[in-house]
Chain A
Amino acid sequence: MRALVWLLAGFALLLIPQWDRLPPWLLAACGVLAGWRWLARTGRVRLPGRWLRMAIMLVLMAVYIATVQGHFSVDTAASFFVLAVGLKWLETRSARDFYVVFFILTYLAAVNFLFRQGILWAFINFAALALLLVGLQTLNAPDLPAGARRGWKRLGGMMLKTLPVVVLLFVFFPRMAPLWSVPMVSGQARTGLSDTMRPGDISSLAQNSERAFRVSFGGDMPPYPARYWRGLVLDYLDGETWRQFEESAIEPPSRVARDGGVGELEPGQYDVLLEPTDRQWAFALDGSVAVSDNVIPAGQNLFRFRRPADTSVRYRMALGNSEGQPSLGTGERRRYLQLPRDGNPRARALARELVRRGSPEQVVSGFIERLRQQPYFYTLRPPSMPDDGIDALLFDEMRGFCAHYAGAATFVFRAAGIPARVVLGYQGGEPGAGGDYLIVRQYDAHAWVEVWLTGRGWVQVDPTAAIAPSRVESGLRDAVADEGSFLEDEMISPQRYNDLPLVQWASLQLDRINYNWQRWVVGYQGQSQMDLMSRLPGGLGLKELGYLSAGIVGAALLLAGLVSGLRLRVRHRGDRFGRLVLSWHRFCEQCGVPVRTGETPGQLAQRLAQSAPGLEKPAYRFARVVNRHYYSPPTAAKPEQEIRQLKQLLKAMKRQGRRRPPAPSVDGNQ
């Protein structure tokens, strides 16, 4: 079974996108089982008998159940598929088994797309499917010489021929809303911000160069120091840990002036393509409003998605027009002044001292001035500060990361009676290839502070900017350049080798390809489709799109049928003489003179003349011309002339034949 080789190869390829989600034992088991089947094919070992197979199945299922432990998620479903295929290898004997494997593997390819949508991953998936389809061809024609090469060729040809329809369907098939809600619970923790902040949390993110999101701006990009992407607010200090006081409630949309994020980006608008986070947080610049309707304002000047971002999400925001909060209620005031009952006495003393100097503005500027003047350091390698961490940071160690300083500053401001909160998000972003969009990476994660100043509302204060101005002006790389700690754990990240121009160039180009892939192919969902359709003349709604898709399919089927029908016709009746002779035959049959196999035109003409006496002359002449054309050596007579002559004769015969009713058959064999 040569088909086995192709299916095994497809299986191996389909496992690649899953490598970090599958439990290692499953990968190993699949390797062993597939290898076993492979060896059995070469005849070196035998496939297990029924009992052994049963035992293997039971053991693996038991291990699977033990691993899953009742947590059902898309991940466990995917690993179940993999397990099923792995076990199926042991009993792939008949063609039917191969089809079962083929179907499971095809679905596995679809499941792979749920997890990874990068262009390379998509390529791997499609390549694996191609392997499977070639495998099916060898399964159906096992002994065909050069079967694999011809299989590839045939598959390629078919794909090329069907490509236009596939593209049209992809563009026009209506992107419906989910039919029923299927939260994609993934067992895997994703890298990214979390909803609590302990000093040191963000510094682990700072070692990660994965993409967080990418942004395209309608107008000019804001300058680097203004790129504060707010994600969530932490306003409750629980010992050393900052938490959300309560998950901010989603406000129902207050204004309806939304255009759904359709059309060209206008100045001041920006599109964010967020990598999957499994969270509902939408990151936005300060003072933004939501444009696309998949993001909803959620209080505290934040935005939320309607459902967790389990795949990459595109949303559109606009700068400006944000109405500031007019005043702070007493409840809110209490909430933003909350502090633990005791701890960090020196910080509280500092706050009291600052209050004595004057107004809240002066308190804030005084604290920032202190950070700037005293020898505080911004470092990715902060010392551990177990007890009274804020005191230790402010007065003893004086070394920390943004999370340390943001937490400490909020503590001091609150102790001084100024409502304050920690904001988590990202700060910065590097331009991608061509400079037309920003890439924000996980190491751009940042924490800063917002304080409530009466009359001015919430004001952004970034203690890190006072200590390491380069962090907010050009990014983490420059801020920790002296320390050399930038991405020190990520040996293979291209961002680490920024000083090598070629690496940098290649990585940015790759990112641009991927960005466009994500924006236009992966992200081609409801909104992008409506976006595209709105640019076409005559607005197309979902229903019209449905009709259009059906029309495309119908037209394609019709066209294909016509083409193949025409091809057949041309092949059969390519010869003009042949066509004329055929229509003569039809005429003869109408006259009750059936054509017999092996009959010469002369004989047929004779019988026709017998049955219809008026037709002798044209019939004999017709037969003569046909005979001359086919059987005599080339003569001076032009084929055009002959054709014309034949046509005239045929017409004459038909005219003659119509005058008299069809004669009863003279054929004795009827």
Chain B
Amino acid sequence: MTRKLFGSRINRWINRRIPRSDSQTLTQKNLFILPTGAGMVFGILLVVMLLTGINYQNSLIYLLVFMLGALFVGAMHQTHRNLSGLELSLLDAGEGEAGSEIPFRFRLTRAGNDSLAVSLSAGSAVISGIHVPAGESRDIHLPVPSSKRGYVRPDRVRIETRFPFGLLKAWSWLRPASAGIALPRPLPAPDVPGGGEGAREDSNARPIVGQDQADLRPWREGDLTTRVMWKRFARSGQMVVADWESLQSSPDWLDFEAFPGVDVELRLSYLAWQVRERLARGERFGLNLPGETIEPDAGDLHAQRCLRALAVWGLEKPRDTGAMRYGTRSGVDAAPGVGAV
């Protein structure tokens, strides 16, 4: 209980120190440093060695202890300086299917001196061994795992170094303002004939231009017998199905209401599958979601737009929950859509 309370306090303190931003220069203000486990053991070892030196009245052991102790302090500065002055920015919060890893692209830029053996991590995703020489920058793809569709924003992206001796670790966090998007995982949608017709009464006014626009395709299991072109079957013996049925129920439109009674997430998955299918076939289609409508179009960009809409449908774009301090520049920067006049 106390630990929880304490932890939330610490978290609030950290969040105050490190405001949400897509870019951050590491300075004394937001950089933390503590000995690692090995560093602790090293400290204990130094004490034991000093005791040995005292008890055996051995000057050289004193010398050794002082030297190693001074090196430890020197390493503290080295480790700190290894990160201090490094600029970490989120270039691009990526997209991916829910359940897979969403690539986030970061850029590390260094002025002054080198940053060596830096690692970047978010949750279980770790990229280590990043070396940024002085005056250069490195782009890093960090795959952030996602579980469900929606906005993906790691609360904290940790940047850490243990260089040079691994006895101390210096770290900081980037609390990205932008979020990546996990698209709904596509699931093959069952063909629901006439589904959603009631819901989209108005779009039925669309002119239907006869059967010549209908798709003819071989019969496959599950097709309704009424759709089989029996005349053609009588003539050639081939079971051909006219797909004009879907055309009739506004085939240009993928509709959220087309799957009555189905769970919302499942519906979105079906729609995602349908979008991909349409894209693969190069068809024009529109997307109709409650509260959001995307006019029919074709092509990659359109499909992407539709998928994004599906991914974030019904979700609030994540914002920083903490109140912004009055008058902080960084706070204004972090607020999306305000910067870059």
Contact = CB atoms under 8 A, between A and B. Distances in A.
A596 B334 CA distance: 10
Interface in A106-163: 106-107, 109-111, 113-114, 117, 122, 125-126, 129, 133, 136-137, 139-144, 151, 154, 158-159, 161-162
Interface stretch (A50-58, A399-407, A522-530): A522-530
B165 A594 contact: no
Nearest to B165: A136
B60 A122 contact: yes
Contacts of B111: 571
Given A114-B58, A523-B59, A524-B59, A557 B73 contact: yes
Interface in A176-198: 176, 178-180, 182, 184
A166 B166 contact: no
A141 B114 CA distance: 13
Chain A CB within 10 Å, residue with most, of B61, B63, B78? B63
Nearest to A549: B66
B329 interface: yes
Interface size class of B (residues with CB under 8 A): 35 or more
- Identify whether the interface residues of A are mostly helix, strand, loop, or mixed: helix
B199 interface: no
A111 B329 CA distance: 57
A515 to B, nearest CB: 15
Interface string A578-617: 0000000100011010111111000100000000000000
Interface centre among B28, B70, B338 (most CB of A within 10 A): B70
B341 A669 contact: no
A154 B53 contact: no
A181 to B, nearest CB: 8
A107 B49 CA distance: 7
B45 A103 contact: yes
B20 interface: no
B85 interface: yes
Interface residues of chain B: helix, strand, loop or mixed (majority): helix
A382 to B, nearest CB: 41
B129 A311 contact: no
A162 B72 CA distance: 10
Interface size class of A (residues with CB under 8 A): 35 or more
Contacts of B208: none
B84 A568 contact: yes
Contacts, number: 179
A113 B64 contact: yes
Given A564-B80, A571-B111, A596-B339, A113 B60 contact: yes
B81 A166 contact: no
Interface string B325-341: 01111011101001111
Contacts of B166: 95, 99, 136, 139-140
B141 interface: no
Nearest to B338: A669
B341 A525 contact: no
B61 to A, nearest CB: 5
A560 B340 CA distance: 39
A121 to B, nearest CB: 9
B284 interface: no
B327 A592 contact: yes
A95 to B, nearest CB: 7
A571 B326 contact: no
Given A99-B166, A143-B129, A589-B329, A603 B66 contact: no
A542 interface: no
Interface core residue of A110, A144, A311 (most chain B CB under 10 Å): A110
A140 B63 contact: no
Contacts of B187: none
Nearest to B56: A114
Contacts of A111: 52
A162 B41 contact: no
B70 A165 contact: yes
A524 B61 CA distance: 11
Contact of B56 (A107, A133, A137, A184): A184
B62 interface: yes
Interface of B: 27-28, 38, 41-42, 45, 48-49, 51-64, 66-68, 70-71, 73-75, 77-78, 80-81, 84-85, 111-112, 116-117, 129, 131, 162-167, 324, 326-329, 331-333, 335, 338-341
8 tightest A-B contacts by CB?
A162-B70, A141-B117, A158-B74, A113-B60, A597-B339, A169-B66, A178-B55, A136-B165
